[in-house]
Amino acid sequence: MLLAFAVAVLAEAASSPGDTCPAHLFVIARSKNANIVVYDANRAPTGDLAPSEPVVAYWLLNGENGKREELNRVQRERAYGVDVTPGQPPGTYTMVFKAHRKRRFSVRMLDGCPAVTTQIGGENGILRRLFVQSKEDSLAPKVQYIEFFGETATSGAPLYEKFVPGK
């Protein structure tokens, strides 16, 4: 039920009227509640990605009519934070999650829109959303699996991958 609500909110916010770019680079929905973590491109006045901070992340509290809230220090440094470094060619960036540095993402402009690309199900694609299934533990939530949803850059065909940590 929470996932359906989050997907409906994301579909509604997919783009602004008259804007052909998606409103967000990608989002993370979770099994815990309807709150989502949003990752947006931070663009310079020229329209390119801002070199000082090309990606910004924050909470969208769906249970409170889409109220925005910043990630706290622990969330930025461990769970949902990202490290973004200049990539090649110039104007592109390499991004990794602080919680799992093994998978690399590329942040760049594609057809005039900011996008995050990575391998999804063995194919290079544009990441649109992640879903994290977790189980509450006495110390901290334990991630059971992460689903990656995206599309190919060429045809827009859907891509999917289910990642199970430790397997």
For 137-153, write each residue's pLDDT tens digit.
777 778 999 999 999 98
Q: What is the 3-state secondary structure (H, E, C) of the chain?
A: CHHHHHHHHHHHCCECCCCCCECCCEEEEECCCCCEEEEEECECCCCCECCCCCEEEEEEEHHHCCEEEECCHHHHHHHCCEEEEECCCCCCEEEEECCEEEEEEEEEEECCEEEEEEEECCEEEEEEEEEEEEECCCCCCEEEEEEEEEECCCCCCEEEEEECCCC
Torsion of CA 141, 145, 146, 147, to 10 degrees: -140
Give pLDDT, residue 166.
83
What's this model's pTM, rounded to 2 decimal places? 0.85
Q: How confident is the model over 34-54, as pLDDT tens digits?
A: 999 999 999 999 999 999 999
